[in-house]
Structures are given as structure tokens and as C-alpha cells.
Structure 1
Amino acid sequence: MTDADGPSPNATKTGSPVVMVVAWLWVTVPFLYGLYQLAEKSSKLFE
């Protein structure tokens, strides 16, 4: 295979580290907020 054929199927392309951090925050922050809300509301059930 030559370079003209395109990238190897085994090659992994990584994006910018900044994009990775933003993507993780985009998912993690709402998830943690949801867990907080769940814990806060479910604790009231057992009072």
C-alpha cells in the first residue's frame, strides 16, 4: 500500500487535546449535575 491509497485502517487519528477536554466536559458536567440532583431529591424520600 502506498501513501496515495489513503491512511491505513489500523492507524488511529487523535484530535486536538483541547477538543478532547471540551468533549469530556460537555458530557461529564451535565452527568454529574444529574447525579447531584438525583441524590438531592432521593434523599428527601427517606426523611
Structure 2
Amino acid sequence: MPSDSSPPSRWGLIALAWLWVTAPLAYGVYELVRKATQLFTG
């Protein structure tokens, strides 16, 4: 049976890459919701 070929050090890099993408995305969604509520509530 082949074992998992990725070393444990790769998981840190993968986590950092996900954070690099999701942090700005989450901030953008937050700003969108905030501005949309201001637009519709006056």
C-alpha cells in the first residue's frame, strides 16, 4: 500500500495558502454585506 507522499511540512504551506486566499475573500464579503445594508436601509 502506498503511504501518504506529502510530508508534514506541506500542511503548513497548504494552510498558509488557504489563509492567503480566504482572508481577503472573507473581508470582501464582510464589506459587501456592510455596504449593501447601508444601501438598503438608508
**Shorter-chain TM-score range:** 0.7 to 0.9
Residue number in structure 1 paired with 2:23: 29
* TM-score scaled by length of structure 1: 0.67
Q: Which runs of 5+ in 1 are unaligned?
A: 1-12
Match for residue 43 of structure 1 among 30, 33, 37: 37
* TM-score scaled by length of structure 2: 0.74
Report the CA distance between 1:33 and its aligned residue: 0.2
4+ aligned runs moved over 3 Å, structure 1: none
Which of the two has greater helix per residue?
2
Identity %: 40
Equivalenced residues, count? 35
The alignment yields a C-alpha RMSD, in angstroms, of: 1.4
